[in-house]
Structure 1
């Protein structure tokens, strides 16, 4: 699974531009599922038949945060804004890559104080000397992402876009390991989560599931002077209780907790005081869907160097596999 995570995290796929990452996931799964298709918004929807006609939807978002071109000046410097939750304070000196492979570095104007750092004071330098040269390669509205390689630290994995390529890898591995399913199950790799959980909204409406589970990363409270939170790396996948987008349905939380305890799989309970996941859209679909979240603890989310513990991903696969053996 580490090799899958490496390929997923190094792929290009900012919100609204998920074709490359979608094709990569599709190539992994087209011989593993009963049906596979792409909907009008770009979600990759795969399906495996179960022994009952109840429908379970699992969702992991494919997209990553990025930077969108807003202006190109006469000297070829590119001004930009954010796509998703990007902080200007982590961008200085970072290398970025556009969809066509053009690379650049981020810098800033002279400032009296770093406290005045804003996107409007920053630019991307792609090594070209004029607006005309840049416009042969890049146009307004093009999107860049971090240029970073995957690193295997042993027990820990370090990469860009582990939010949420780690979740995608977890679903891929679950699909490959499954022998039987208690319910008809849709494994959905969604688009545009980072800009408003949009792909989950449309795909859930089309599937109309009886139960939903989003698979995503969550923050931790295990670094120096971090926000207090009862989630740590290496202590097992987290079962969400609440975040800003959802209060987990008791039926789903109890199913996940009881399954983990029956299978003696380490787990943590998660209350996230910020952020949300695809579950925020799924649970509000049509007449409502009982929905929960399986979370992979991660440090430094939305930076170029996110960190997860490999055992948490492995245990997430075991837990999800066991959950899918139960009728809903």
Structure 2
């Protein structure tokens, strides 16, 4: 239950891109018993280090930030205008409850024109963020005392258990990956391993992978393993290969080190971990892309957790997939002593 509890707390917390520091104390609380030291990158990336017996350095990275909104204006009627901080479909926003993180938390709702007053032309158009407003119930003179342009906004949503091992909530992209790192750390706690392991919760992935790029230069790992989520909405496309609760994704392609991924697949087979190999012929859209070309270059892997309804406030996953990813990466680390284990 410890890992699930951690995911619930992460999901229910605010950590929009650039504001991930709000989660630092929570990360320290859960990782401190499993790592030898904790530090932070200059942009705010969390780094937990577990020492090994050898010289190999492995960095595991999952991004901590979530998509969100930002206040742009408070009009004379007291309504809050806003913009999207990358990656939210405007169609999912009307009628959502939100929290504006100003000088104090302010609750509001996203309103839009009701259908009764829409013209026939309006009904044919997709709703735009510019047509939406946040109503807090406060007049402008009261609201501007606690809310300003630049304040971030999150959807008000608490994570909830569904049937079986399924959970729904916001920000599972990619706090599910952070929990997979935690599951890996739990396995490694009492194990003897050769590589030094760096558990890194990166910042600002959703706005350009900024944390991964800089922190990799600082750590200079031999191997980088990015953990992210991947679409599992099979009802939406026959091209989607993974399903929640059934398998995890192992990426192959130019962003991925060929010998390492072969070793990772062998490990999955040895541990009876169900997986799908998914071809990524170009950019993977994850921290793996930036990790690979940092410094003098890093041998990189990408493992992904299936998720439905990505970048909404009702993302759905199966917690057993998080445990599978944690077990796979821990087993992979335990199988390595030095580069000869890969290039044997």
Q: TM-score, normalised by structure 2?
A: 0.89
Instruction: Please point out which of 251, 255, 270 is paired with 2:278.
Output: 270
Is it true that 1:136 corresponds to 2:136 in the alignment? no
Relative to structure 1, the CA distance from residue 114 to residue 38 in structure 2 (aligned partners, 3 Å threshold; closer, same or farther) is farther
Q: Does the 8 Å CA contact 2:62/2:177 hold for their aligned counterparts?
A: yes
Q: Does the 8 Å CA contact 1:91/1:106 hold for their aligned counterparts?
A: yes
Distance 1:4 1:13 in 2: 15
Q: Which runs of 5+ in 2 are unaligned?
A: 340-344
Is it true that 1:151 corresponds to 2:160 in the alignment? yes
**1:115 matched to which residue of 2?**
125
Relative to structure 1, the CA distance from residue 275 to residue 122 in structure 2 (aligned partners, 3 Å threshold; closer, same or farther) is farther
**1:187 matched to which residue of 2?**
199
Instruction: Please point out which of 94, 98, 102 is paired with 2:106.
Output: 102
Give 1:236 shift: 2.2
Distance 1:163 1:285 in 2: 23
Give 1:197 shift: 0.7
Is it true that 1:318 corresponds to 2:327 in the alignment? yes
Q: Deviations over 1:27-58 (max 9, x none)?
A: 21123211101121010111111121111110
**1:249 matched to which residue of 2?**
257
What is the total number of aligned residue pairs between the two structures? 323
Instruction: Please point out which of 290, 293, 308 is paired with 2:317.
Output: 308
In angstroms, what is the RMSD of aligned CA positions?
Answer: 1.7
Distance 1:272 1:229 in 2: 13
- Please identify runs of 4+ aligned residues in structure 1 that moved more than 6 A: none
Q: Deviations over 1:188-220 (max 9, x none)?
A: 001101111110000001011111001110012
**2:30 matched to which residue of 1?**
28
**1:169 matched to which residue of 2?**
179
Instruction: Please point out which of 220, 225, 230 is paired with 1:218.
Output: 230
Q: TM-score, normalised by structure 1?
A: 0.94
Give 1:129 shift: 2.0
Distance 2:130 2:270 in 1: 53
Q: Deviations over 1:209-251 (max 9, x none)?
A: 111001110012522x435221111222211125xxx632212
Distance 2:149 2:39 in 1: 31
Instruction: Please point out which of 126, 130, 133 is paired with 2:136.
Output: 126
**3-state SS of 1:23 partner:** helix
Q: Which runs of 5+ in 1 are unaligned?
A: none
Larger radius of gyration: 2
**1:299 matched to which residue of 2?**
308
Q: Deviations over 1:152-207 (max 9, x none)?
A: 11221111111111111111121122122220111100110111111000000101
Distance 1:304 1:101 in 2: 18
Q: Deviations over 1:269-326 (max 9, x none)?
A: 2246886111111001012111111100001000110011122111112111101112
Relative to structure 1, the CA distance from residue 206 to residue 114 in structure 2 (aligned partners, 3 Å threshold; closer, same or farther) is farther
Give 1:14 shift: 0.5
Is it true that 1:204 corresponds to 2:208 in the alignment? no
